[in-house]
Amino acid sequence: MHQLVFATNNRHKLEEVSAKINGDIRLLTLQDIGCFDDIEETGTTFKANASIKSHHVYSTYQLDCFGDDSGLEIDALNGEPGVYSARYAGTHGNHAANISKVLENLEGETNRKARFRTVISLMWNGEEHFFEGAVEGTIRTEIAGEGGFGYDPIFEPEGYDITFAEMSMAEKNAISHRAKAMEQLIAFLNTTK
């Protein structure tokens, strides 16, 4: 069984990815390999930030790994919050404040089109590979649902009348941006066995 490090400490991301892998690969976290470094996401694109994470782990631990960066892009806000999704309102990971800022910035806006985008950087046998996934949708005017994390309570994916936060993890995993990028990653890994 291959070992692969997922360069994250985000338990929600780990749960989503673990559900997709189905035991083909032993997924390790940064904690599992004793990496407690604060990997600075200094890139200005999802691709750059994902690459920073995977390169850090690979160069420090010589382990195959992947890093991802994701975010919400809102058309009426010129793609914001984008790479700043986790810290849009100032404090990293303050989901309620981030959601409030988005809703405030969209007040009175009729174009509520948005997408979640994920880019994965995989370091595999010393080579870097990229995988990308996106899911289109709209931003609701109010919060709905208890599940998910981040902007899930205000994001309604195209073709649905519920938010990500109102879906089960299985439902969200079937259509999410991270799921689409992960499917490409898993397909790649399955061809390298």
Residue-wise pLDDT for 153-173, tens only, equals 999 999 999 999 999 988 998
Give the separation between CA 113 and CA 101, rounded to whole angstroms: 16
Q: Report the pLDDT value the prediction gives residue 178, as an integer from 0 to 100.
A: 87
Rounded to the nearest integer, the mean pLDDT of the chain is 91
Q: What is the CATH number of the domain that holds 105?
A: 3.90.950.10
Active-site positions read 69
Q: What is the mean pLDDT of residues 66-88?
A: 95
Domain count, the chain: 1
State the number of CA atoms in the 13 A half-sphere of 124 facing the CB. Answer: 18
**Backbone CA torsion sign across 167, 170, 175, 177:** positive
Measured CA to CA, the distance from residue 116 to residue 133 in angstroms comes to 8
User: What is the rounded CA–CA span in Å between residue 99 and residue 171?
Assistant: 22
Alpha carbon distance 171, 24 (integer Å): 21
CA distance 132 to 184: 8
Summarize pLDDT for 36-72 with one digit per residue, the tens. Answer: 888 888 899 999 999 999 999 999 999 999 999 999 9
The model's pTM? 0.88
What is the distance between the alpha carbons of residues 87 and 114, in angstroms, rounded to a whole number?
18
Give the pair of three-digit tokens for residue 87: 């810290």
| pLDDT-based confidence at residue 14 (cuts at 50, 70, 90) | confident
Question: CA 45, 132, 3 angle in degrees (round to 5)?
Answer: 105
The maximal CA–CA distance of the chain, rounded, in angstroms, is 53
The whole domain housing 139 covers 2-191
